[in-house]
């Protein structure tokens, strides 16, 4: 059977053989056993409803075994045997290019070179799923292969509910992930309802089919680390010979050593999973591997002395590194942490003094003890970070719920007031005021030809446009423009591609629109050999409401609301998006964030030009308007500039109140 025939068949008519459990693949840890006996029965009923009745007796035993062994029903028997990767768009059986492009993006998210736990359909973050099980994958690909441009596929947390009549301008796919009733959105709720097979944690770009490998975050990480050093050193001193200490190499965190190399510092990144560290080394994302502390210390001393630009993966626990560096007086200039603390009890963070294998055993068989060990480890980690900060380290939270979970563990993480964290998140200090408030965010594109030559062409197009726009850009964004021009000039030589031929570039509304229009013209003129998929990370100006990350620099009290993300996905859906998604959870954890995204296929048509202008404008300026209403200075400047450029844009003005009036008012109340 050919690849196209396998896609078209969906769930096979003949029960396939059970594939061998591949020990060479990085598998998800066993999940918490949380279901009651009656709930286990319900989970089996839910799983069997995908299959013919005559298979139920055999599959029931099999699925119950999976549930007990792994904590989830993945339906391994139905994992396809063809290679999983993004193929050229013409290789997909489809009635329209939009559907074929989505199939390409789904397969990229599940590519073993890209995905963290590919056989469990998890792309990154320990639990960021594309689907809950392989039956959902098979059915979704079949629906996409057979749908017309007058149908829309509704995706309920990985489950394809079906094709519904729509129209050519409507999205081809609408995705929701983890959309729980608010009172049922705690960590154990995810464990329970995911085990039942009725919801999933889509992270951000995992469940929305927009992940492009660690490149997807390396640009933002580069901007963040670069500006962290600028805050510490000023503009006259460069980061050469300065240490950036952090942790995590599994999914998106794998971008950190590559970003450190681009910035020019010494990056030390701890990772407890040897397979994850070796994978990044083999992919060229980290320069050296070291597995004992003394050797690490000696190597870093040499790197400091020689002012090297090098990235080192330490196979071991980050707490040990912080403590050893303090003991040995290794100066840490910039520090952070990117373990998956949004998922603290299921393998997102591994405690110190417990081996990787022991920790996995505890997760499966003694989750209460594991939780205690994690919290003790966080207390210890914060204590030593505080000591480094007293010596001059600049530490920032990288939006992974490190500060939040440390506070819940009882760590010494609050400031003198006892109300706020003693360290800022990277959005509060860097990306929020420097990028998001001005509309700069992680715009991205994928060449559906899968041809590196097309990617080179798009790099050149975007570079030409960015340089042109820089000549007319306001003074407030000149540094952002220059940083992004430098990024795209060196993108190819930085060897960023893992999986699909994709690129990321922080751009504002004007930049995104102009670049997209030029891409669309290049597709129409045949300069690019196949359509381009546009998208962005949900971690953007408008896409995410997250009080401890994306909206942490919103200070009018609205950072705990989620109107912006919901408005964004609805607004994008009727302005031209090919697919849209909205998720509960992502980055900082289940119940802590609402985030959404989109995909848009550029097919070279004039109609597509209109979609670009309408949708990309709203997708950015919705967030700038909200940030301006929150009285963010940069956003107020940016939206004022945009209203002058776009007469049809009308924004409710904010009137700033004198603090003297507030002070006088409340002084009389004492």
Annotated binding site for NAD(+): 125-126, 203, 271, 398, 587
* Length of the chain as a residue count: 670
Query: Position of tokens 């820089």?
Result: 470
Contact predicate 558/550, CB 8 Å: no
Cα(613)–Cα(510) distance, rounded to whole angstroms?
9
Cα(150)–Cα(165) distance, rounded to whole angstroms?
6
Give the E-state strand segments of 358-413 in sequence order.
394-395
Compute the C-alpha angle 25/26/32, nearest 5°: 130
User: Strands 159-165 and 151-156, how do they pair?
Assistant: antiparallel
Cα(452)–Cα(447) distance, rounded to whole angstroms?
8
Among 215, 206, 177, 210, which Cα is nearest to 28's?
206
As a dihedral over the C-alpha atoms of residue 641, residue 644, residue 648, residue 654, rounded to 10 degrees, the angle is 60
Which residues share a beta bridge with 289? 313
Give the E-state strand segments of 513-646 in sequence order.
532-536, 544-545, 579-584, 594-602
- What is the widest separation between alpha-carbon atoms in the chain? 82
Q: Which helix (H) or strand (E) holds 48?
A: helix 37-48
Among 375, 435, 464, which Cα is nearest to 635's?
435
Structure tokens at 180: 């729980």
Cα(640)–Cα(637) distance, rounded to whole angstroms?
5
Relative orientation angle of helices 37-48 and 187-195, to the nearest 10 degrees:
50
Among 585, 27, 64, which Cα is nearest to 347's?
27
Cα(169)–Cα(573) distance, rounded to whole angstroms?
9
Cα(402)–Cα(124) distance, rounded to whole angstroms?
17
Cα(177)–Cα(174) distance, rounded to whole angstroms?
10
Structure tokens at 560: 């705990």
Contact predicate 251/125, CB 8 Å: yes
410 torsion bin: left (phi>0), alpha (psi -120 to 50), beta (else): left
SS3 category, 156:
strand
Structure tokens at 305: 């002395």
- Residues annotated within the binding site are 125-126, 203, 271, 398, 587
**Residue 585 CB-density burial (10 A; 0-12 exposed, 13-18 middle, 19+ buried):** buried
Q: For 377, phi and psi rounded to 5 degrees?
A: -65, -40
As a dihedral over the C-alpha atoms of residue 334, residue 337, residue 338, residue 343, rounded to 10 degrees, the angle is -160
């Amino acid at each position: 059977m050919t690849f196209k025939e396998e896609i078209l068949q969906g769930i096979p008519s003949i029960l396939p053989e059970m594939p061998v459990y591949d020990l060479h693949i990085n598998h998800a840890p066993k999940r918490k056993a949380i279901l009651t006996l009656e709930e286990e029965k319900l989970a089996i009923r839910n799983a069997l409803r995908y299959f013919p009745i005559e298979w139920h007796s055999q599959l029931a035993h099999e699925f119950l075994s999976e549930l007990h062994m792994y904590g989830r029903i993945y339906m391994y028997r139905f994992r396809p045997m063809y290679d999983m990767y993004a193929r050229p768009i013409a290789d997909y059986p489809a009635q329209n290019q939009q559907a074929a492009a989505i199939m390409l993006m789904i397969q990229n998210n599940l590519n073993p070179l890209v995905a963290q736990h590919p056989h469990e359909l998890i792309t990154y973050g320990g639990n960021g799923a594309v689907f809950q099980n392989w039956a959902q994958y098979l059915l979704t690909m079949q629906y996409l292969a057979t749908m017309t441009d007058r149908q829309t596929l509704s995706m309920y947390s990985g489950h394809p509910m079906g094709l519904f009549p729509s129209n050519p301008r409507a999205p081809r796919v609408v995705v929701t992930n983890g959309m729980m009733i608010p009172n049922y959105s705690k960590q154990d709720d995810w464990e329970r309802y995911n085990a039942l097979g009725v919801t999933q944690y889509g992270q951000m770009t995992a469940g929305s089919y927009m992940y492009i490998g660690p490149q997807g975050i390396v640009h933002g990480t580069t901007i963040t680390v670069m500006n962290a050093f600028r805050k510490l050193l000023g503009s006259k001193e460069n980061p050469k010979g300065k240490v950036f200490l952090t942790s995590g190499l599994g999914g998106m965190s794998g971008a950190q050593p590559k970003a450190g190399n681009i910035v020019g510092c010494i990056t030390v990144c701890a990772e407890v999973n040897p397979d994850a560290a070796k994978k990044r080394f083999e992919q060229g994302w980290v320069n050296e591997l070291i597995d004992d502390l003394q050797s690490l210390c000696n190597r870093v001393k040499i790197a400091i002395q020689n002012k090297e630009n090098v990235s080192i993966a330490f196979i071991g626990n980050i707490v040990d590194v912080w403590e050893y560096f303090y003991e040995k007086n290794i100066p840490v200039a910039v520090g952070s942490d990117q373990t998956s603390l949004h998922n603290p009890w299921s393998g997102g963070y591994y405690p110190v003094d417990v081996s990787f294998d022991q920790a996995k055993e505890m997760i499966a068989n003694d989750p209460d003890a594991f939780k205690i060990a994690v919290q003790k480890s966080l207390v210890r980690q914060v204590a030593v970070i505080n000591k480094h900060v007293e010596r001059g380290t600049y530490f920032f939270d990288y939006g992974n719920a490190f500060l939040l979970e440390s506070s819940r563990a009882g760590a010494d993480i609050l400031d003198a007031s006892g109300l706020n964290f003693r360290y800022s998140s990277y959005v509060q200090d860097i990306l929020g005021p420097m990028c998001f408030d001005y509309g700069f965010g992680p715009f991205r594109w994928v060449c559906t030809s899968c041809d590196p030559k097309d990617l080179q062409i798009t790099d050149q197009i975007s570079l030409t446009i960015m340089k042109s726009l820089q000549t007319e850009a306001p003074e407030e964004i000149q540094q952002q423009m220059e940083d992004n021009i430098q990024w795209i000039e060196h993108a190819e030589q930085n060897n960023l591609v893992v999986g699909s031929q994709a690129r990321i570039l922080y751009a504002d509304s004007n930049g995104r629109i102009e670049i997209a229009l030029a891409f669309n013209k290049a597709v129409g003129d045949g300069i690019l050999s196949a359509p381009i998929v546009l998208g962005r990370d949900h971690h953007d100006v408008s896409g995410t409401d997250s009080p401890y990350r994306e909206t942490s620099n919103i200070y009018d009290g609205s950072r705990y609301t989620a109107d912006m993300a919901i408005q964004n996905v609805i607004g994008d859906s009727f302005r031209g998006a090919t697919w849209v998604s909205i998720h509960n959870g992502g980055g900082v954890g289940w119940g802590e964030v609402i985030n959404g995204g989109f995909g848009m296929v550029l097919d070279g048509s004039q109609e597509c030009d209109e979609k670009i202008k309408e949708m990309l404008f709203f997708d950015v300026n919705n967030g700038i308007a909200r940030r301006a209403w929150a009285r963010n200075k940069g956003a107020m400047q940016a939206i004022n500039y945009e209203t002058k450029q776009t007469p049809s844009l009308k924004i409710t003005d904010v009137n700033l109140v004198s603090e003297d009036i507030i002070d006088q008012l409340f002084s009389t109340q004492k």
